[in-house]
């Protein structure tokens, strides 16, 4: 088996060999070599202890060194190629971990062989190694064969593996999305039987795996594996809840299947780096995944056999905010995704009756920096199989977007403010700072959105008239 290996890996291997130490490229970089994929972050393991290989790594990594993983036997370094490309390496002493059943954090014990180190890895496709500098391929668990078959299997008994580190169950789902692999039957069975073990994993680690899964090329496959395995019941229970039982008259769609279609369509609507929603976009993908989570709680069977989901947008937004907070997503992600869920039905009224310019301004103003994502979520959500309805909807969205472009040529939507600011309102009405000033400001902002910019005298007349009505009431 021949490899086109990074020259930096060969050089580092020679430096370790000169000091009498073994060094091997392991895990993802070896897998990526076989898949002909690029990787600039290289993981190694070695017979040397950190204090022994630190001087070697410092000499090699003349552009950077770090030791945050020292207590786990890991040190890292970085160098830049002449073209500016960064090559980062991390070296870890051979390990033989033991785990506390109530924690996924291992008690680190140094091992004495490469094969022993590989046995503690998550899946066989990540349990291959390449000794450097002599390029001996080491594959004690058949990882190359599993890689060729597109199968995820654990090097040791899957129950032992998942019991030792339950996060590996999330990683299995993530690799389904990233690599397009399937989970081997015995591994899938163990995963489904042991999903409750994921509860000892921190929310942050679960969030990180979910994020990597959603940002992959196949997020739908990852979500479906998450649900099928039973993991979603614990880490994202709102999603399997979408698998509503469909009655014999098919009075509503399968909401889970609809959500998967919306996710696919949203991904397809992302743009290149120079577009408004560069691929991959976590906010849009999370919103597509969560947009209908309010439906199970709002489902109501109406007279005549109809099914309604009134206010599922508002209910879903609250549920989304609660779940993403529990998963420790950044505040801006929580707020943006929740707002997209809240607004995802906003456009639908336009299809029945095109909006006035003031309504278009409000749509753009209310969506703010989420405008481009909201339009893509709205388009993705239009999954009707009726070609005429689909064409009417697409045409209406095209028309609305064109109107927005034309209005933006006349005024800066991002800078829309009332024609009178707070200080002017207080001076004109003789008010001190307080709730009434806020109400007056909001009224003038609404007036601005409804009427566009007006001259100062007109704005003053409107404020005076509004305030008189408030006083009379």
Q: How far is Cα 375 from Cα 356, in angstroms, rounded to an integer?
A: 18
- Residue 247: pLDDT band (50, 70, 90) is very low
Q: Are 28 and 43 in contact (CB under 8 A)?
A: yes
Taking only the tens place, the pLDDT of each residue in 178-209 is 999 999 999 999 999 999 999 999 999 999 99
pLDDT at 278: 96
pLDDT at 51: 95
- Residue 172: pLDDT band (50, 70, 90) is very high
pLDDT at 3: 57
101 has a pLDDT exceeding 80:
no
- If 0-12 CB within 10 Å is exposed, 13-18 middle and 19+ buried, where does residue 272 land? exposed
Q: How far is Cα 226 from Cα 231, in angstroms, rounded to an integer?
A: 5
pLDDT at 131: 96
Taking only the tens place, the pLDDT of each residue in 111-129 is 889 999 999 899 999 999 9
Q: How far is Cα 399 from Cα 160, in angstroms, rounded to an integer?
A: 58
pLDDT at 249: 43
Residue whose token pair is 């064409």: 391
Taking only the tens place, the pLDDT of each residue in 401-433 is 999 998 888 776 666 778 788 888 888 888 889
pLDDT at 396: 92
106 has a pLDDT exceeding 60:
no
Closest among 303, 291, 323, 127 to 210, alpha carbons compared: 323
Question: Per the structure block, which two tokens stand in for 366?
Answer: 């209310």
pLDDT at 105: 61
Q: Does domain 1-145 have CATH number 3.40.50.170?
A: no
Taking only the tens place, the pLDDT of each residue in 198-240 is 999 999 999 999 999 999 999 999 999 999 999 999 999 999 9
β-pairing, 86-93 vs 129-131, is unpaired
253 has a pLDDT exceeding 60:
no
pTM of the model: 0.83
Closest among 342, 345, 329, 406 to 381, alpha carbons compared: 345
Q: Are 277 and 270 in contact (CB under 8 A)?
A: yes
Taking only the tens place, the pLDDT of each residue in 44-94 is 999 999 999 999 999 999 899 999 999 889 999 999 989 888 999 999 999
Distance of CA 366 to the CA centre of its chain: 24
460 has a pLDDT exceeding 70:
yes
- If 0-12 CB within 10 Å is exposed, 13-18 middle and 19+ buried, where does residue 42 land? buried
pLDDT at 248: 43
pLDDT at 133: 94
- 23 sits in which H/E element: strand 23-26
pLDDT at 122: 93
Q: How far is Cα 127 from Cα 147, in angstroms, rounded to an integer?
A: 11
Q: Are 460 and 420 in contact (CB under 8 A)?
A: yes
Q: What is the CATH number of domain 237-415?
A: 1.10.3210
Q: Where are the domains of the chain?
A: 1-145, 237-415, 422-472
Taking only the tens place, the pLDDT of each residue in 320-363 is 999 999 999 999 999 999 999 999 999 988 877 888 888 888 89
| 381-396 as b/e: b if 16+ CB within 10 A | bbeeeeeeeeeebeeb
Q: How far is CA 438 from CA 199, 221, 423, 441, 445, in A?
A: 46, 49, 11, 5, 11
Sign of the torsion angle spanned by Cα atoms 271, 277, 279, 281 = negative
pLDDT at 304: 74
Cβ atoms within 10 Å, residue 1: 10
345 backbone φψ class: left, alpha, beta (φ>0; ψ -120 to 50): alpha
Q: Residue 41 — φ and ψ, nearest 5°?
A: -110, 115
- Going by the DSSP 8-state scheme, the letter that residue 354 receives in this structure is P
Name residues whose C-beta falls within 8 Å of residue 348's C-beta, 6 or more positions apart in sequence: 378
pLDDT at 246: 53
Radius of gyration for the chain, computed over Cα atoms and rounded to the nearest angstrom: 29
- Residue 250: pLDDT band (50, 70, 90) is very low
pLDDT at 197: 95
pLDDT at 435: 87
């Amino acid at each position: 088996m021949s490899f086109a290996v990074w020259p930096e890996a060969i050089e580092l291997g020679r430096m370790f060999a000169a000091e009498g130490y073994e060094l091997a490229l392991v895990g993802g970089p070896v897998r990526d070599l076989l898949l002909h994929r690029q990787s600039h972050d290289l993981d190694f393991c070695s017979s040397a202890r950190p204090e022994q290989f630190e001087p070697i790594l410092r000499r090699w990594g003349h552009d950077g060194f770090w030791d945050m993983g020292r207590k786990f036997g890991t040190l890292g370094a970085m160098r830049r190629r002449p073209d500016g490309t960064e090559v980062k390496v991390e070296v870890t002493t051979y390990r033989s971990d033991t785990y506390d059943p109530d924690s996924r954090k291992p008690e680190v014990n140094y091992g004495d062989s490469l094969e022993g180190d590989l046995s503690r890895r998550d899946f066989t496709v990540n349990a291959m190694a390449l000794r450097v500098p002599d390029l001996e391929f080491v594959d004690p668990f058949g990882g190359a064969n599993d890689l060729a078959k597109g199968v995820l299997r654990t090097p040791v008994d899957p129950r032992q593996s998942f019991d030792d580190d339950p996060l590996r169950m999330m990683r299995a789902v993530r690799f389904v999305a990233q690599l397009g692999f399937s989970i081997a039957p015995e591994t899938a069975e163990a995963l489904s039987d042991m999903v409750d073990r994921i509860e000892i994993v921190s929310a942050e680690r679960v969030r990180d795996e979910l994020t990597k899964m959603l940002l992959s090329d196949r997020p739908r496959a990852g979500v479906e594996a998450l649900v099928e395995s039973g993991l979603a019941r614990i880490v994202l229970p709102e999603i399997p809840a979408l698998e509503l039982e469909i009655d014999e008259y098919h009075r509503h769609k399968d909401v889970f299947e609809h959500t998967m279609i919306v996710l696919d369509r949203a991904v397809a609507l992302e743009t290149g780096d120079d577009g408004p929603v560069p691929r991959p976009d976590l906010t849009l993908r999370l919103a597509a995944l969560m947009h209908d989570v309010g439906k199970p709680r709002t489902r109501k069977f109406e007279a005549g056999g109809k099914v309604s989901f009134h206010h599922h947008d508002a209910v879903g937004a609250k549920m989304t905010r609660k779940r993403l907070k529990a998963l420790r997503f950044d505040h801006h992600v929580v707020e943006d995704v929740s707002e997209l869920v809240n607004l995802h039905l906003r456009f639908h009224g336009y299809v029945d009756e095109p909006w006035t310019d003031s309504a278009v301004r409000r749509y753009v103003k209310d969506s703010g920096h989420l405008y481009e994502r909201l339009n893509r979520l709205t388009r993705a959500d239009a999954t009707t199989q009726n070609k005429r309805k689909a064409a009417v909807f697409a045409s209406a969205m095209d028309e609305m977007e064109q109107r927005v472009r034309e209005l933006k040529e006349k005024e800066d939507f991002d800078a829309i403010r009332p024609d009178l600011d707070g200080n002017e309102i207080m001076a004109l009405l003789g008010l001190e700072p307080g709730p009434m000033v806020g109400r007056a400001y909001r009224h003038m902002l609404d007036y601005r959105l409804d009427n566009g910019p007006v001259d100062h005298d007109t704005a003053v007349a409107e404020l005076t008239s509004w305030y008189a009505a408030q006083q009379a009431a």
